[in-house]
A and B are shown apart, each in its own frame.
Chain A
Amino acid sequence: MKPTLPIAELAGDNWSGQDDLQLLTHIAQGSKAAMTEFISRYYQRITDFAWRHMGRKADAEDIAQETFIRVWRKARDWQDRQLPPHSWLYRITYNLCIDELRKRKPQTDVDEHFDLSGNDSPESNLYQLQKDKLLATAFATLSETQRTAIALCNYQGLSNKEAAHVMDVSVEALESLLARGRAKLRKQLSAEP
């Protein structure tokens, strides 16, 4: 879809009225104002999603920054495939997380995931309660793909088709991951006192 207005006519809050596709079109044309709006719209979600994979806030922020840099570079290459731009955004993030985890896998054990202590928690109180810690521990027992499927569908609000696209699996495979992941979570959480 081509932009409805020239870039010069869009300024300030006008960007908030643009949908993701329009923003991405402007980003492909090199509009940093559109990119600013896009980052503002998705930074928190992308950081949260990456955090669930990486376990450390600093790593998640690095992943988020790299994600947006890739969006900036590759906006012209984006092909919608009947899916909204944010599923592409999550896919970039997911791939970056996988690459990063593969790099550091030999030095990282499961206990290091979801570091919940001290100043590493975000201001929004995520993972600060003891109940959250139990859930985070249960999450750490899931496979990487189960965790991703649940994070995308339960926490990020993606549809099954979008989540399947992000993970590059079929909807049936995604549902299998979700069902097994939730069953494992139920078992883990039911076992807690």
Chain B
Amino acid sequence: MQSKTAKLVNEQRVIELLECYGGDAGNWPEEERTAANAMIRNSAQLQHRQREASRLDEMMAATEVKASLSARPDPATVARIINALPEQADSNTTTLSDYRAKTAHKRAAKRNKGWWTYGTAAAAAVMILTVGIMLRQPLQPIQPSAITAAVAQQELDQWMWQEATGRLAGEPTAELAPEDADSTITFLAMVELDLLPEEE
């Protein structure tokens, strides 16, 4: 039965398999092997490619001695490594699955800690970005008309104060009698609201 991925094998993919894994079908990914072999059987060009790949395999196989790879080492070598092994803490009481269960919450804590770290870093980045944008913006110039209006308003206030109290602006108001203060406030309010009667 063909696997799902086997349907994706086309001529180009077979060439890739030969270039990557060589001419021996046993080295190809298992799920693509059947389809690739079928394509090679029906294509003289792919058969030629496979022969070329196999030729390189033979040259590469010069150093490969499979028997030696599967051979078991000298017992003295194994003993040397065994004697060099360090102690394993709690080695007889904890199984692999137990250990995984015990460390699961630690890994979760690490992940959570990671999120906090990322959050802090993101907040810092936003702050830096905001400050950067603010510094790049030019200061707004003060409009001359605004200055003129402010000065005019100040002078008007001073004149109204003098008219109402007979005193210069800045003189202490503590000397005013309560009725004078009330009349001053009333007068200023009438000026603001434009309620003064027109002079004849």
User: What is A's interface to B at a CB cutoff of 8 Å?
Assistant: 2-3, 24-25, 28-30, 32, 35-36, 39-41, 43-45, 47-48, 64-65, 68-69, 72-73, 75-79, 122, 124-127, 129, 131-132, 135-136, 150, 153-156, 159-160, 175, 178-179, 182-183, 185-186, 189
CB-CB contacts of B57-79 with A at 8 A, as 1s and 0s? 10110111101111111000110
Which single member of B27, B72, B99 contacts A76 (CB below 8 Å)?
A: B99
Residues on B with beta carbons closer than 8 Å to the beta carbon of A47:
73
Question: Please, could you name 13 A-B residue pairs with CB atoms under 8 Å apart, sorted by A?
Answer: A28-B95, A28-B96, A28-B99, A29-B92, A43-B72, A44-B71, A64-B81, A65-B80, A69-B85, A124-B71, A135-B59, A154-B60, A159-B29
State whether B78 touches A36 (Cβ < 8 A).
yes
Interface hub of A40, A122, A127 (most chain B Cβ within 10 A): A40
Interface size, B (range): 35 or more
User: A39-B73, A132-B62, A154-B60 are known contacts. Are A175 and B78 too (CB-CB below 8 A)?
Assistant: no
Counted as pairs of residues, one from A and one from B, with CB atoms less than 8 Å apart, the total is: 128
State whether B63 touches A45 (Cβ < 8 A).
no
Give A64 Cβ to nearest chain B Cβ, in Å: 8
Quick check: is B128 within 8 A (CB to CB) of the other chain? Answer: no
Binds A, one of B14-22, B118-126, B144-152: B14-22
State whether B29 touches A160 (Cβ < 8 A).
yes
State whether A29 touches B68 (Cβ < 8 A).
no
Residues on A with beta carbons closer than 8 Å to the beta carbon of B27:
153-154
Q: How far is it, in angstroms, between the C-alpha of A150 and the C-alpha of B22 when the chains are bound?
A: 10
State whether A65 touches B94 (Cβ < 8 A).
no
Q: How far is it, in angstroms, between the C-alpha of A47 and the C-alpha of B77 when the chains are bound?
A: 12
Interface hub of B84, B94, B96, B99 (most chain A Cβ within 10 A): B96
User: A69-B84, A179-B16, A179-B20 are known contacts. Are A43 and B63 too (CB-CB below 8 A)?
Assistant: no
